[in-house]
Amino acid sequence: MVIKKMKGSLYFIHPIKIAIIVSRFNYFINENLINGALDTLLRVGNLKEEDIYIVEVPGAYEIPLIAKILSKSRKYRSIITIATLIKGDTKHFEFISNTCISEISKISIKYEIPISCGILTTENLDQAIIRSGSKMGNKGSEAALVSLEMINLIDKISKTSLKKEKY
């Protein structure tokens, strides 16, 4: 028995548009995440600057609403979300992170658009710095890679389904 496997690639030769939603809260961290995402989209994804649309929101809590509006517009093949949530002494961190990530997932499924999560949820500032481009890579770049791969995978699945082939 031969098991067929399908996966997305990261390189595009056709024009696609991607939106990035970024929180202004903790922007000194988020700026590194945006730079990582942009570098990946331009160099790995072969996108042009004019194919990338960045929307700034006040905080992570506002990301799902903008993600929904952008998803409904059908102008973008994918959305990348970027924010940094650092745990404090209250439950605010849990409420915001749980709500934000849960709603983003629901929007992605409802509108059938990949929304990649470049939202850091860390215990402290040092962890956020490490995940935004120092010792543990750049989570913005990783979110961009996820976006590119998911767009490609969805395209492959759509083409296979249209041909009514068994895969």
**Where do the structural domains in the chain lie, given as residue ranges?**
18-162
Q: Provide the pLDDT confidence category of residue 159 given band limits of 50, 70 and 90.
A: confident
CATH class of the domain comprising 18-162: alpha beta
The runs of H, that is alpha helices, within 44-138 are 63-73, 92-111, 125-131
- Cα 91 to Cα 124: distance, rounded to the nearest angstrom: 15
Which residues are the active-site residues? 92
CA triple 50-105-11, angle to 5 deg: 40
pTM, rounded to two decimals = 0.90
- Cα 161 to Cα 23: distance, rounded to the nearest angstrom: 37
38 marked as binding residue: no
Coil/strand/helix, residue 23: strand
Give, as one character, the DSSP assignment of residue 164: T
Kindly report, residue by residue over 14-44, the tens digit of the pLDDT.
689 999 999 999 999 999 999 999 999 999 9
84 marked as binding residue: yes
43 marked as binding residue: no
Kindly report, residue by residue over 83-115, the tens digit of the pLDDT.
999 998 888 889 999 999 999 999 999 999 999
